[in-house]
Structure 1
Amino acid sequence: MNHKVNEYIASQKEWKKELLALRKILSELPLQEEIKWGIPAYIYKNKNILGMSAFKNYCGLWFHHGVFLKDEHQLLINAQKDKTKGLRQMRFNSIEEMDLKIIKQYVIEAIENAEAGREIKPKRNTKPIIIPEELQKELSTNNELKNCFNDFTLSKQREFCEYISSAKKDATKHRRLEKVISLILNKKGLYDKYKNC
């Protein structure tokens, strides 16, 4: 059992009993328990299967590729229709609502789906990278910056460019440019600090 998950559950005053019940059935399955995105995550053979979380009005599970589950008991919801392709949630308002045997069946089916390779692949962003004028000027006069920038993946390059371009005021663009230059030279992505939470 992961001690960070212990801490997460201990910090939940409202849903501790429910989270412990869910965790118990998850611990009986061949899942690796971690904290990802700030919540307990359950992984099977390096594939994200589901997450467990508590919110203000409910607690529950979300299945990363829940769209492939049969959902015979009609327990799954798509929290963001038209946005979410594969993710499905299972929400609970009390421990009495939980049928742990049925929940376990859903998790086993999710593991079987992962084993069979059923997953939604994220679409690659194919739109071209538009380097803002301010950054382009710096890249053309600083070879070290240019080489470091080119070492980043296209998605990270796009993040830097969009971060600068999305600023409305020139002063904000200038501040963002300075931040981006520092990150690039230190070989750090714009959102890297959030990836190890």
Structure 2
Amino acid sequence: MKTDPRIDAYIDDKAADFAKPILRHVRSVIHEACPDCEETLKWSMPSFMYKGKILAGIASFKAHASFGFWSGSQVVDTSGKSATAMGQFGRLTSLDDLPDRKTLIDLTRKAMKLIDDGVKPVRNKHEKPPFTVPQDLQAAIDASPAAKATWEAFPPSCKREYVEWVTEAKRDETRTKRLNQTIELLNEGKRRHWKYENC
């Protein structure tokens, strides 16, 4: 078993008392089904890797725990309670919320086979509603040729980031400040989150 002491610490120190037996049980089942899996932390949560790919993950929250396969609906029928929590088994509050051990082993092996076969996880695309550029922002962009050229070259996602940033301002002073900063950044040819692009 390739375990990670950080997972022990997560379960022993961070998990709520009700969640500890759930997380320990899932952990042991994953290792039984997939002796070659390796443990690690992804997004600060325990994850199980198989052949360099994420196989599954567990987590503990205040009122529930979660367990899910990275390939999600390709492994488990996700209709029903899974829509209310991370993972495919809904909000776990006791071991009774999980399928029996044999079923979990079978599901884990199914997830492993997807990785073996090179099948990529299916992800649902969350379509964002269309956005409208407010008049004051459009007027400011139109008044600056450099800003307008940058704006027109941007894909919709970059434009949306600026629109949301300006329109989410609660006070008029904040909105004006953000509007001015937007034009400055556009004049420099920069996206809203340009600082993080080369990280």
Counterpart mapping for 1:119-130 below 5 A: 119-123=121-125, 125=127, 130=132
Report how many aligned residue pairs link the two structures: 184
Render the CA deviation track for 1:55-98: whole Å, top value 9, x for unaligned: 33432302344323356xx9x73234xxx9x9522554334766
For residue 163 of structure 1, give the secondary structure of its aligned residue in structure 2: helix
**8 Å CA contact 1:144, 1:185 repeated in 2:** no
The corresponding residue for 1:195 is none
Q: Output the TM-score relative to the length of structure 2.
A: 0.59
The answer on 1:41 being equivalent to 2:47 is yes
1:106 aligned partner, one-letter code: L
Q: Which has the larger radius of gyration?
A: 2
Q: What is the 5 A alignment of 1:1-197?
A: 1-9=3-11, 10-14=13-17, 15-27=19-31, 29=34, 30-44=36-50, 47-69=53-75, 77-80=81-84, 88-89=88-89, 91-95=91-95, 99-114=100-115, 115=117, 117=119, 119-123=121-125, 125=127, 130-133=132-135, 137=140, 141=144, 143=146, 154-167=156-169, 169-174=171-176, 176-177=178-179, 184=191, 187-188=194-195
Structure 1 residue 24: Cα displacement: 3.0
What CA RMSD, in Å, does the superposition of the two structures yield over aligned residues? 4.6
**Structure 2 contact 7–40 (Cα < 8 Å) conserved:** yes
Unaligned runs of 5+ in 1: 193-197
- Determine the C-alpha separation between the residues in 2 that align with 1:184 and 1:90: 38
Using a 3 Å threshold, how does the CA distance of structure 1 residues 102 and 152 change in structure 2: closer, same or farther?
farther
TM-score, normalising length: structure 1: 0.60
> Cα offset for 1:52?
0.6
Tell me, which stretches of 5 or more residues in structure 2 are unaligned?
A: none
Q: Aligned to 2:28, what secondary structure does the other structure show?
A: helix
Q: Distance in 2 between matches of 1:176 and 1:166?
A: 10
Q: CA deviation at 1:5?
A: 3.2
Task: Give the % identical residues.
Answer: 23
